[in-house]
Amino acid sequence: MTATASLFTTKRTNVKDRTSRTVKVLAIHFDHATQSMRVFCNDGYTRECRIDRLTDREHGRRMWVHLKECINKGYDIMFVAAGGFSPDKWFYDMVTITETDSNIPF
């Protein structure tokens, strides 16, 4: 998945996206009350994506399916947060590091 600021609604449009360190996803949960996808990671942080703030709800569905795949295959992920917010707390997109990517020595 690649980051595109137009996927998420934020008032902080003049601030660049931020990307997290590489982490592994341990579990995901959907909170119906807040319309949020919560992702529990091996660095101890729980990251959250507010589905109601995405400009394309289908993007949220694709992320959910992809996160499940990353858990099953053990892929590493970097989360992307919009508006300069902390990617250790919030995200609207992610970058996946596959096993093939991690075998490249440079």
Name the residue with higher pLDDT: 18 or 40: 40
pTM: 0.81
Closest CA to 49 of 1, 93, 84, 86: 93
3-state SS, residue 97: strand
Give the pLDDT confidence score for residue 97 in this predicted structure. 84
Q: Tokens 């609207």 sit at which residue?
A: 92
User: Mean pLDDT, the chain, as a whole number?
Assistant: 85
Q: Give the model confidence (pLDDT) of 59-82 as tens digits.
A: 899 999 999 999 999 999 999 998
Q: Is the pLDDT of residue 94 over 60?
A: yes
Token pair recorded at residue 73: 């295959």
* Amino acid found at 61: R
3-state SS, residue 48: strand
26 lies in some domain: yes
Q: Is the pLDDT of residue 29 over 90?
A: yes
Helices (H), the chain: 57-73, 99-102
For the chain, report the end-to-end CA distance as a whole number of angstroms.
Answer: 22
65 lies in some domain: yes
Domain containing residue 34: 21-99
43 lies in some domain: yes
Mean pLDDT of 81-93: 90
Number of domains in the chain: 1
